[in-house]
Structure formats: structure tokens, C-alpha cells
Amino acid sequence: KAGVTQTPRYLIKTRGQQVTLSCSPISGHRSVSWYQQTPGQGLQFLFEYFSETQRNKGNFPGRFSGRQFSNSRSEMNVSTLELGDSALYLCASSLLGDGPYEQYFGPGTRLTVT
């Protein structure tokens, strides 16, 4: 079974631009979560989607948004990019999302904002 896939793997953007990252969960997994990793803040939760609904959101500004499609694929969008948005963005999927199920992570998208 294929793992979680994320595209693109690397991205360079300029301040003020916007970016969209994509995540395809493991087949059959319906819950998708997004995390941001930076050297200063570590791994922080962004949001979690289940059945196209956002169930939880972390402490991030409204510039960070996401959505989930009917096939469970998810996208996250960051508008008006700032230098501090440079980070590794990780997507995780879990089986059903209505219990404490194990989460599996994708390889990440490394975003650099210049």
C-alpha cells in the first residue's frame, strides 16, 4: 500500500505570494492533519480534516487555510507569505479519525520564503 504523498517536495516563494501544498493520504484513510516544523518552534499542529470538515485548528493566523476533498486528498494554502513561514510542512493521515488511531506522515514539503 502506498504511503502518504505530498507535492511539491520543495518550493521557493517570495514574500507576499501565496502557496498551495497538496497531500494524498494512504488509501482508505479519511483523516488528514497538517503540521509545521521549524527549528525554533519544533513541530506544531496546523489543522485536521475528516470527511471534508475541519475538526481542529492550531494556533496559526488566518493566512493558513486548508480543505479536504471527497477522495480524502487535502490541500493547505498560505496567503501573503512571510519570511517566518519558511518551514517543513508535514501531512499525516490516519485510518478513520474517530478514535486514537496511529498517524502516518508524508515526506513533507520544504517551503523557503525569500
Partner 1 sequence: GIQVEQSPPDLILQEGANSTLRCNFSDSVNNLQWFHQNPWGQLINLFYIPSGTKQNGRLSATTVATERYSLLYISSSQTTDSGVYFCAVANSGAGSYQLTFGKGTKLSVIP
Interface with partner 1 by CB under 8 A: which residues? 31, 33, 35, 37, 42-45, 48, 50, 55-56, 58, 88, 90, 92, 94, 97, 99-108, 110
Q: In whole angstroms, how large is the CA radius of gyration of the chain?
A: 13
CB 26, min distance to partner 1, A? 12
CB 89, min distance to partner 1, A? 10
CB 16, min distance to partner 1, A? 26
Closer by beta carbon to partner 1, 52 or else 80 = 52
| CA torsion through residues 35, 55, 74, 51, sign | positive
Three-class secondary structure of residue 45 per DSSP: strand
Closer by beta carbon to partner 1, 83 or else 102 = 102
Give the span between the Cα atoms of 100 and 90, in whole angstroms: 19
Closer by beta carbon to partner 1, 4 or else 113 = 4
Question: What are the phi and psi torsion angles at 84 (to 5°)?
Answer: -70, -5
Return the amino acid letter for 51: S
